[in-house]
Amino acid sequence: MISARNLTKRFRLRRGEVVEAVRGISFDVHAGELVAFLGPNGAGKSTTLRMLTTLVPPSEGTATVAGHDIRQDPAGARRAIGYIGQGHGAGDYFRVRDELVTQGRLYGQTRKQARTRADELLTVLDLEPLAKRTVSTLSGGQRRRLDIAIGLVHRPPLLFLDEPSTGLDPQNRANLAEVIRRLRSEFATTVFLTTHYLPEADALAERVIVIDHGRVIADDEPARLKEQTAKDSLDDVFLELTGRSLRND
Amino acid sequence: MTSVIFEREIAPVLRNPLGLVFTVAQPLVFLLLFGPLLGDVPGTGWQWFVPGILVMTGLFATAGAGWGIQAELQGGSMERILVTPVSRASILAGKTLKESLSLLAQAVLIVLVAMPLGFRLHLLPVLAGLALLAVFGVGLGSLAIALAIVTRKQPETFWGAHQFLLFPLVLLSGVLLPVEGGPGWLATAARLNPLTYLVEAERALFAGDFLDSSVLWGAIGAVLTAAVGLTVGARAMRTAAL
């Protein structure tokens, strides 16, 4: 479902300084897998995700997502994937249901299909009473649920989530985990998510890829990683792998 | 796909049409405050002044377009749309179309306010003038969107750049005062200002004169602005996610 080969991203800053955010990452994700992509702040997670979702072109290397090469066929890739970014997907000045309908139509659904799908998702994500509200009036948790609903509109076989649980209370986090589990059990969706809540990664994902300084430093089942590092929690595994010192990058 | 983006953008405007009245408040103040003062200046009057105000409205309305897209770039909804199959060109076209139509609505409102004050409406030429303004608005809207994308990492510079570019353009186009009688350097600066041609075309049309040569130059200017704007805008849109 995902096949990344030597993905590299260099950013040119002013005064000719070059930052290598991602340094030759390669990995494969099979259909139906749920993979957590972990790493400290600035490790290159978001940049990798932004390359895989065609938002930024790689400096070197390439990747295939859902059968489409991100360099040769970015439009095809976009049609086949879903992406729930770190920011707010829903625009401030629009109404909740309108944003869902717009999203469906951007994926080629007819007006009628888009409306039906929007209503389904409003129910699934408990947003029905908010359908006519303007997005800017929603609470943080409500907005996040809407962003997730927007990402699911076209039933993508491959879904990317960038820190979906950041800033959510335990109820909303549990709700999110439930939605993700159901995506897998009911629709066999492949899920690739980044997170900082390691217990969540532990509970949800059957595989974690840890990156640091733009490179993959571990790629295995959570249980195996704990075994290898002789640690009890994924938090400790993470600190063992990436070091305990604070990062500035 | 352009129509989907356009519908998304226009929905909040249609739900709250009063918002357009507020955005038109500033040009209306100019109209009502300066208009009567111009009564004694030869070669001016309402037929002369209203077209200038409309062009000015277009210039300032674009600030709104830039501001809107900047909020979307900061917030994340732009990114979400960039990951859907819709083309970058359609995103630009849909957003620009909304700006152009809002400008048209504001222009109609200004004309309606000016009519009881003594503005004489030559319907067909004025409609042509409004069409010209809408084409010009497409160019301005795209340029403002491009500027917002270029300055997205330092949002505050958008305003600085916008004002820096707009004020000389407005003042040197003879929107508020006739520049023909001014000193030589002023007349030359006005000639070099692309906006001057549009203002003159609008003035000819609002005076009911279809066949004035300035109409042709204004039309060329408006189409050129739209073409350049869309090209620059499309280019900027491709870098929006970087």
pLDDT given for residue B12 in this prediction:
92
Question: pLDDT category, A229, cuts 50, 70, 90?
Answer: confident
Q: Does A94 touch chain B (CB under 8 A)?
A: yes
Among residues of chain A, what percentage have pLDDT more than 70? 98
Domains with residue ranges and CATH for chain A? 2-62+70-88+156-242 (3.40.50.300)
Question: Mutation test of the interface with chain A: which of B67, B72, B84, choosing the one with the most A Cβ atoms within 10 A?
Answer: B84
pLDDT given for residue A150 in this prediction:
96
∠ Cα A75 A81 A86 (to 5°): 105
Task: Of B161, B160, B168, B162, give the one whose Cα is nearest residue B194.
Answer: B168
Query: SS3 of A48, please?
Result: helix
B228 within domain boundaries: yes
- Contact flag B75-A94 (C-beta cutoff 8 Å): no
| pLDDT, tens only, A150-197 | 999 999 999 999 998 887 888 888 888 888 988 888 889 999 999 888
Q: How far apart are CA B53 and CA B117, in angstroms?
A: 15
B30 within domain boundaries: no
**Is the pLDDT score of B198 beyond 70?**
yes
More confident residue, A107 or A176: A107
B139 within domain boundaries: yes
pLDDT given for residue A129 in this prediction:
96
Question: pLDDT category, A136, cuts 50, 70, 90?
Answer: very high
- The shortest CB-CB distance from A88 to any of B11, B15, B77 is to B77
B17 within domain boundaries: no
More confident residue, A108 or A225: A108
- Contact flag B80-A108 (C-beta cutoff 8 Å): no
- Contact flag A105-B82 (C-beta cutoff 8 Å): no
B133 within domain boundaries: yes
pLDDT given for residue A121 in this prediction:
95
Range of the structural domain that residue B210 is part of: 2-12+45-237
Query: SS3 of A4, please?
Result: strand
pLDDT given for residue A40 in this prediction:
86
pLDDT given for residue B45 in this prediction:
82
Task: Of B68, B167, B146, B57, give the one whose Cα is nearest residue B104.
Answer: B57
**Is the pLDDT score of B42 beyond 80?**
no
| pLDDT, tens only, A52-80 | 999 999 999 999 999 999 999 999 999 99
**Is the pLDDT score of A249 beyond 60?**
no
Total domains, chain B: 1
B26 within domain boundaries: no
Asked if B186 contacts B178 with a C-beta cutoff of 8 angstroms, the reply is: no
**Is the pLDDT score of B185 beyond 80?**
yes
Q: How far apart are CA A182 and CA A123, in angstroms?
A: 14
Element (H, E) at A101: helix A96-106
DSSP character string of A19-46: EEEEEEEEEEE-TT-EEEEE--TTSSHH
Tokens of A164: 């979906």
Tokens of B191: 């000639």
More confident residue, A244 or A222: A222
How far does the CA of residue B93 sit from the closest CA of chain A (Å)? 14
How far does the CA of residue B56 sit from the closest CA of chain A (Å)? 26
Mean pLDDT of all residues in B227-240: 91
Mean pLDDT of all residues in B102-129: 91
Partners of A218 in the β-ladder: A210
Residue A73, phi then psi, degrees to nearest 5: -140, 60
Question: Mutation test of the interface with chain B: which of A68, A93, A95, A105, choosing the one with the most B Cβ atoms within 10 A?
Answer: A93
B39 within domain boundaries: no
- The shortest CB-CB distance from A106 to any of B11, B72, B85 is to B85
pLDDT given for residue B92 in this prediction:
93
Q: How far apart are CA B103 and CA B138, in angstroms?
A: 10
Q: What's the length of chain B?
A: 242
**Is the pLDDT score of A222 beyond 90?**
no
**Is the pLDDT score of A244 beyond 80?**
no
| pLDDT, tens only, B10-31 | 999 999 888 888 888 888 888 8
* Sheet order of strands, A18-29 included: A18-29, A2-12, A60-65, A68-69
pLDDT given for residue B85 in this prediction:
94
Question: pLDDT category, B95, cuts 50, 70, 90?
Answer: very high
User: What ipTM was estimated for this complex?
Assistant: 0.91
∠ Cα A163 A81 B8 (to 5°): 85
pLDDT given for residue A246 in this prediction:
64
The 3-state secondary structure of B12-30 reads HHHHCCHHHHHHCHHHHHH
Q: Does B39 touch chain A (CB under 8 A)?
A: no
B21 within domain boundaries: no
Partners of A11 in the β-ladder: A19
Output the CA torsion B70→B74→B75→B80 (10° steps). 90
- Contact flag A85-B75 (C-beta cutoff 8 Å): no
pLDDT given for residue B3 in this prediction:
95
**Is the pLDDT score of B201 beyond 80?**
yes
**Helix, strand and coil percent figures for chain A, each rounded to 5:** 40, 25, 35
Q: How far apart are CA A31 and CA B160, in angstroms?
A: 50
Strands A215-220 and A207-212: antiparallel
**Is the pLDDT score of A236 beyond 70?**
yes
The 3-state secondary structure of A168-234 reads CCHHHHHHHHHHHHHHHHHHCCEEEEECCCHHHHHHHCCEEEEEECCEEEEEECHHHHHHHHCCCCH
- Contact flag A85-B84 (C-beta cutoff 8 Å): no
pLDDT given for residue A245 in this prediction:
64
Q: How far apart are CA A55 and CA A152, in angstroms?
A: 18
Q: Which residue of A has its CA nearest to B82?
A: A55
